[in-house]
Structure 1
Amino acid sequence: MQYRGHHLSTDGDWRQHVVSLEDPQTGLLAEVVFRAIPGLGVLRSFVRLTNGGAAPVVIEAIASLVTAGLPGSGGGGLDDIDVYWADNDWFAENRWQHRPLRELLPDLDGPPHRAPRRGCFTMTSGGSWSTGQHLPMGAVVDRRDGSTWLWEIEHNGAWHWQVGERAPGLYLALLGPTDAEHQWRLVLGIGESFETVPAALAVSPDGFDDAVARLTRYRRAVRRPHPDHTALSLIYNDYMNTLMGDPTTERLLPLIDAAATVGAEYFCIDAGWYAEQDENWWSTVGVWHPSRSRFPGGIEVVLDHIRSRGMVPGLWLEPEAVGVDSPVAADLPVDAFFQRGGVRLEETGRYHLDLRHPAAVAHLDEVVDRLVRDLGVGYLKLDYNVNIGPGTDSGGTSAGVGLLGHNRALLRWLDGVLDRHPHLVVENCGSGAMRADAAMLARLQVQSTSDQEDLLRYAPIAAAAPVLITPEQCGNWAYPQATFTAEEIGFTLCTGLLGRLYLSGHLDRMNPEQLELVARAVTVHKEIRPSLADAVPFWPAGLPAWDDTSICLGMRTPEASYVVVWHRAGDDTELSLPVDHLAGVPVKAEVLFPPRAEVRLHWDAASARLQVRPAAAPSASLIVLRA
């Protein structure tokens, strides 16, 4: 395409640069839009295409951002460059990896070739889960000086990125759905326009942690305002290792009392509340009316009890799912569902709503408005448990075009829900964090970080989550049980303290000493949560590996720095943790939680290192560093 001009403008805090391009053969016009807040160190980019020609144009891929000049380019050499990416899976989220670039892109210098090299290193989403296999993020880091480029594709569906080598260095390409990877093939009619999904690029001379800090501030700048982003309301949810989708009035009432006793502010009834006890709730979802057999006096008795204990009631929904045995499957038109070749797509006993269709939107609007209006629900947990594949060809489009259209319609629907109910707190969940992307998190207030049921395995997931999610949105499960030792209770509670403490567990079965330990964690979290709303993460021991015996996560705030140390195995361990931003500062280090923890601490201001000898494994502690 050929350059046609550019335009600079200001939009509030944002500076915008639009570059206009044209393909003289087809008449295809492109506006490449760059947006940034001065001083933030993050660039946002997307592209608008318009067919200004005399015939339709077929688009098979269009990048949101393509750039060269990555670290190591321009004669600096690529031998010291690392590439970062993150694998993601159910129960095993946020597994960051890095390898030397030259192990991924071998040096091919030698006799000149007639064409540039063809290889590149890529990451690609699979199906309708945006984070079901990998995160839509990556980075390149120069080991010599820490220079870092960190990127994110801001989309709740299909995406693809690649890093490759072209003289004189590296290039980066960030894309939404493509034909080759996702069956996305768009026919752009005469006069029609299309806009790519946005992408963000954070650039830092000061290392990976600083790049994440910049991206964290950027995420706060672009997301929808909501009072819960600063309130960090404390939630109890009855699911994890507790009722596991089988709630009744009898089971819930003692849990409600116990949750209120320790200081929870919201109480969410998770899956199963809508299903009769003799039916398969998986294949019958879609109507979203309370079960009569589970709540003989009506679910209102339970919700009223939640309110009487000073908490806000919440319910679980899976809005895009309609069970094959649900009456909704017959009530809505076929075009309100995903389909291929005129046949509704079915996955594990579920159909999938297509929110491009007004009947699907009207159905979900009725459900949400009824629950908020008639039942007084103030919290919704929205789940997404089925990967429906590449999409829907309803309307004669390619499957990928259909999925992109639905994904954008979903975002519009969420905006509409929050426009009508601005104080409703909405959690994003997708079999844990299988759809934990920037597009969803720019709208919703809480993100489930995992469905992981093992407290020891949850630690690396929670520790790495702030690369993807702002700290105040990280809904990290803490599920203490009466059968746990005090150390195990402290371990699981520490998992939630530097994010959004998200409680579960049979608190109703605990003895007074155990309940007091949970209540102490809640008190500590409430004391520090105002500063977490502005905190940026850091990793004193580096990003965690899945099998690390000791794991660390830090939060840097204007008032103090906090570090959680999880010690999963091994005896007589001593950690030396660099906290470089406190170099030369005579800070005081102390354990905030658990009380009476057998942890030895020493701060060396000259080397900016915190020496930690943790208690015997398994154990965890929250440490504060204050000047």
Structure 2
Amino acid sequence: MLTAAVGTAERTRIWSHPDLGLHALVDAAGSVRLGRPDQEWAGLVPLVEVTATGHGRMWSGERFIETAIGDRLTYRAHETVQGRGRERTTIHLADPVTGLAAEVTLEASSGAGFLRGQVRLANEGSAPLRLESVTTLTLGGIADADGDLDGLTLHWADNDWLAECRWRQAAFRDQVVPLSRSAHGHEGRGCFERYSQGSWSTGRHLPVAALSDQEGRTWLWQIESSAGWRFETGEREGAAYVALFGPDDAHHQWHHTLAPGEGFTTVPAVLVRTEAGGLDAAFGELTDYRRGIRRVHPDHRTLPVIYNDYMNTLMGDPTTEKLMPLIEAAGAAGAEVFVIDAGWYDDDAQGWWDAVGAWEPAPHRFPGGIQEVLDAIRRHGMTPGLWLEPEVVGVRSPLAHSLPPEAFFQRGGLRVTEHGRHHLDVRHPAARAHLDEVVDRLVGEWGVGYLKLDYNINIGPGTENGLESAGAGLLGHHRAHLDWMSSLLDRHPGLVLENCGSGGLRMDYAQLAVAQLQSTSDQQDPLRYPPIAAAAATAATPEQAAVWAYPQPDQSLDEIAFTLTGALLGRVHLSGFLNLMSDEQFDLVRSAIRAYKDIRPEISGALPFWPLGLPAWEDTWIAHGLRGQDSTYLTVWRREPDVGGGETAQSRHGRNEPVDDRCTLALPRLRGAHVHPTVLHPATADAAAEWHAADGKLTVSLPRANTAVLLRLSSAPSQ
């Protein structure tokens, strides 16, 4: 161990992360905090903050730091284990008053700019302890390049149905105002916070946010929870702090009683730090991290093209008659998976929404049996897929009565009902056995190789199983749900799972560490999809981010090219009545799929960037890029100025140049390089790009509004 004397307080360094410039420091009283040895100790935050009934905060307010237990937790020991290119350090703390012990696991990789944290609490005392909040990671002492807060910018993402991944930014001081601490002797009582509500983990916001300064230094964080989560940032002794949480009592109706000898483990979270490059560099680091924590699966390398019959096409009304021509056309277009979406089980005169649960094919929809359709999909060279909403049972389903009451979410002793559905608790053996039987039949007997797992209700705070809180029940269910998903892939290694929650309303890396794909949106308007498609890589790796491309026979060639282009730097979710298209229209679809198949080997290793900044909902020009090993790829959209129905983001961000047919993109990484821009899609002469090597800028021309282009920037051939 290295001891460093700073001021009058002796601090011992027990752990270091050189790439982040972070150390775990112990003071003379045994308190452990993350920071640098030269930082003001009071500006740092205890390594773990805990509120428990009877043990609250030392300064009351909206913040969940400065807790009595966190202040008392003292250092016991630590150990470090290395393996598989990562280093894992566990720091042991204890509270002498309650007997609560904390094991803080810090995981990092050499040369990587991330720190993953998780905390396990154990009650070593003689009395039960009722937990109300626990941090997963805390960090204080954050400041701008001048050592203050005036130059910090806060970034966060709002999320909603049809409007996912809407990034916002504001000066830190606009959200956390200076309060003249010297006049009052205390910090403020508030903070900037974002949190989930109910069972849609991203129904309001993404569990991802950042702080950056004028020099491009960035702290970016992600909480990995399909149940409750919360982050807060605020001021502490002249510096900013960040505290990352799973569920808590105040926001998620979560509390967890630890009897003597019992334990609880928090959800994981990660902090990323980059010294330069702003959000682009930070999201690149986060993308690499996400690839490292997820389950290994061949889908992440092969990236098959998926046709799904739902969006703007059959819309939940599949039949053999309607599917057969779509199957033939999808196969001819180059699709490699064909998914029959919602409605394949619908044989109820009153509709399927509140009758689901058995997941049997509807005889009137498939007079020759559903196998006839599945066989046709295989015959056309595609893997068959089906839509499933496994966690719900309709109130009119026979399963609502045949499964035991304890297999469903309950609160106050009553079964929970939401939008005509009950919710299964996958911890119950009967619920899990039912779902295992369904999937083993669909996959093992029918030969289905792709399941779209949807989730279309917000069931609220959770379920009360016995004396547990609703929030604890939700967390327990989701952990069981993730275990169930993993078990499916263990039994069926080639199966591909798509995570969908009314589009992107459960878009978190608890789910995406297991599932292979993520539906990014249910947005049906192709003109409103670009800001979602462009920002999707902030929520999922590009090879997991599925974007709808729904060309239609009544669209112009520009409109067809526009909807196709937006999916080509992620995962293609093709739809539309391809069978009714003219030869010219269909050739345009096939050319887009050929372009995708040409570049997809690079997507799974490429890193995202945004040369115009992260898009706003109203932006006229939007650009999203991927930096591959050999080439750089760019998608550029030009929309009508009022497509979003409001002031353009270019205007709000001070970029209000006249809207014309040209847009200049800054690509500083390529400055001075001899680069050749090539139009990959659509292969038309009216989209053009000109590279300016000296200043590292690319000028893109799109003569007409509501058009888009995919470009490849590769090394220019030698003269």
Same fold (TM over 0.5): yes
CA contact 1:163–1:173 (8 Å) conserved in 2: yes
Within 2, Cα distance between the matches of 1:71 and 1:366?
Answer: 54
The residue matched to 2:481 in structure 1 has which SS? helix
Match of 1:150 among 220, 240, 251: 220
Shift of 1:110: 5.4
In structure 2, the residue matched to 1:202 is: 272
CA contact 1:273–1:290 (8 Å) conserved in 2: yes
Q: CA, structure 1 residues 373+58, in 2 after alignment: closer, same or farther (shift >3 Å)?
A: same
CA contact 1:71–1:141 (8 Å) conserved in 2: no
Shift of 1:279: 3.4
- Give deviations 1:567-608, integer Å, cap 9, x for gaps: 111563321101111111010012110011412311111111
In structure 2, the residue matched to 1:602 is: 690
Within 2, Cα distance between the matches of 1:201 and 1:214?
Answer: 10
Shift of 1:223: 0.4
Within 1, Cα distance between the matches of 2:296 and 2:393?
Answer: 31
The residue matched to 1:279 in structure 2 has which SS? coil
Instruction: Letter of the 2:273 partner, please give it.
Output: V
Equivalent residues in 2 for 1:154-173, closer than 5 Å: 154-173=224-243
Match of 2:709 among 602, 606, 621: 621
Equivalent residues in 2 for 1:87-102, closer than 5 Å: 87-102=158-173
Instruction: Letter of the 1:612 partner, please give it.
Output: V
Kindly indicate whether residue 74 of structure 2 is the aligned counterpart of residue 32 of structure 1.
no
The residue matched to 1:220 in structure 2 has which SS? helix
Q: CA, structure 1 residues 164+110, in 2 after alignment: closer, same or farther (shift >3 Å)?
A: closer
Kindly indicate whether residue 539 of structure 2 is the aligned counterpart of residue 468 of structure 1.
yes
Instruction: Letter of the 2:551 partner, please give it.
Output: P
In structure 1, the residue matched to 2:212 is: 141
In structure 2, the residue matched to 1:63 is: 135
In structure 2, the residue matched to 1:503 is: 574
Within 2, Cα distance between the matches of 1:475 and 1:34?
Answer: 32
In structure 2, the residue matched to 1:217 is: 288
Match of 1:232 among 280, 283, 303: 303
Match of 2:419 among 319, 323, 348: 348
Instruction: Letter of the 1:102 partner, please give it.
Output: R
Within 1, Cα distance between the matches of 2:152 and 2:685?
Answer: 41
Within 2, Cα distance between the matches of 1:597 and 1:296?
Answer: 49
The residue matched to 1:456 in structure 2 has which SS? coil
- Give deviations 1:508-550, integer Å, cap 9, x for gaps: 1101111110000000000000000101000000000000011
Shift of 1:109: 2.7
In structure 2, the residue matched to 1:611 is: 699
Within 1, Cα distance between the matches of 2:170 and 2:459?
Answer: 32
Kindly indicate whether residue 90 of structure 2 is the aligned counterpart of residue 18 of structure 1.
yes
Within 1, Cα distance between the matches of 2:300 and 2:522?
Answer: 23
Instruction: Letter of the 2:417 partner, please give it.
Output: E
Shift of 1:77: 1.3
Shift of 1:185: 0.7
Kindly indicate whether residue 442 of structure 2 is the aligned counterpart of residue 371 of structure 1.
yes
- Give deviations 1:393-433, integer Å, cap 9, x for gaps: 12221101100100100010001000000100110000001
In structure 1, the residue matched to 2:503 is: 432
In structure 2, the residue matched to 1:359 is: 430
Match of 2:174 among 98, 103, 116: 103
Instruction: Letter of the 1:268 partner, please give it.
Output: V
In structure 2, the residue matched to 1:43 is: 115
The residue matched to 1:44 in structure 2 has which SS? strand
Instruction: Letter of the 1:602 partner, please give it.
Output: E
Within 2, Cα distance between the matches of 1:615 and 1:476?
Answer: 25
CA contact 1:30–1:48 (8 Å) conserved in 2: yes
Within 2, Cα distance between the matches of 1:279 and 1:372?
Answer: 28
In structure 1, the residue matched to 2:355 is: 284
The residue matched to 1:409 in structure 2 has which SS? helix
Within 2, Cα distance between the matches of 1:421 and 1:487?
Answer: 41
The residue matched to 1:588 in structure 2 has which SS? strand
CA contact 2:339–2:387 (8 Å) conserved in 1: yes
Within 2, Cα distance between the matches of 1:9 and 1:368?
Answer: 38
Kindly indicate whether residue 345 of structure 2 is the aligned counterpart of residue 257 of structure 1.
no
Number of residue pairs aligned between Structure 1 and Structure 2: 625
In structure 1, the residue matched to 2:645 is: none
In structure 2, the residue matched to 1:420 is: 491
CA contact 1:572–1:616 (8 Å) conserved in 2: no
CA contact 1:33–1:46 (8 Å) conserved in 2: yes
In structure 2, the residue matched to 1:189 is: 259
Kindly indicate whether residue 125 of structure 2 is the aligned counterpart of residue 53 of structure 1.
yes
CA contact 2:311–2:576 (8 Å) conserved in 1: yes
Match of 1:272 among 337, 343, 364: 343
CA contact 1:602–1:610 (8 Å) conserved in 2: yes
The residue matched to 1:289 in structure 2 has which SS? coil
- Give deviations 1:410-459, integer Å, cap 9, x for gaps: 01000100000010011000000100101111011111000000001000
Within 2, Cα distance between the matches of 1:346 and 1:4?
Answer: 48
- Give deviations 1:462-498, integer Å, cap 9, x for gaps: 0000011000001000000001110010000001100
In structure 2, the residue matched to 1:9 is: 81
The residue matched to 2:523 in structure 1 has which SS? coil
TM-score (norm 1): 0.99
Instruction: Letter of the 1:195 partner, please give it.
Output: T
CA contact 1:277–1:294 (8 Å) conserved in 2: no
- Give deviations 1:204-257, integer Å, cap 9, x for gaps: 012110000000000001100000000001100000000000000000000000
Instruction: Letter of the 1:69 partner, please give it.
Output: G
Shift of 1:193: 0.8
Q: Which moved more, 1:420-429 or 1:6-15?
A: 6-15
Query: Over aligned residue pairs, what C-alpha RMSD do you find?
Result: 1.0
Within 1, Cα distance between the matches of 2:143 and 2:165?
Answer: 24
Match of 1:516 among 581, 587, 591: 587
Instruction: Letter of the 1:351 partner, please give it.
Output: H
Within 2, Cα distance between the matches of 1:355 and 1:110?
Answer: 49
Within 1, Cα distance between the matches of 2:245 and 2:181?
Answer: 31
In structure 1, the residue matched to 2:626 is: 555
Shift of 1:71: 3.6
The residue matched to 2:478 in structure 1 has which SS? helix
TM-score (norm 2): 0.86
Within 1, Cα distance between the matches of 2:128 and 2:699?
Answer: 65
Q: Which has the higher contact order (CA 8 A, sep 6+)?
A: 1
In structure 2, the residue matched to 1:180 is: 250
- Give deviations 1:274-320, integer Å, cap 9, x for gaps: 01162310011000000001001101111110011110100000000
CA contact 2:149–2:238 (8 Å) conserved in 1: no
Within 1, Cα distance between the matches of 2:349 and 2:250?
Answer: 45
Within 2, Cα distance between the matches of 1:426 and 1:516?
Answer: 30
The residue matched to 2:527 in structure 1 has which SS? helix
Instruction: Letter of the 1:606 partner, please give it.
Output: A
- Give deviations 1:78-116, integer Å, cap 9, x for gaps: 111110000000000000000001110111235342332
Within 1, Cα distance between the matches of 2:511 and 2:620?
Answer: 33
The residue matched to 1:497 in structure 2 has which SS? coil
Shift of 1:615: 2.8
Post-superposition, which runs of at least 4 consecutive aligned residues in structure 1 deviate over 3 A? none
The residue matched to 1:85 in structure 2 has which SS? strand
Match of 1:448 among 506, 509, 519: 519
Within 1, Cα distance between the matches of 2:161 and 2:253?
Answer: 24
Within 2, Cα distance between the matches of 1:626 and 1:545?
Answer: 29
Shift of 1:624: 0.8
CA contact 1:72–1:169 (8 Å) conserved in 2: no
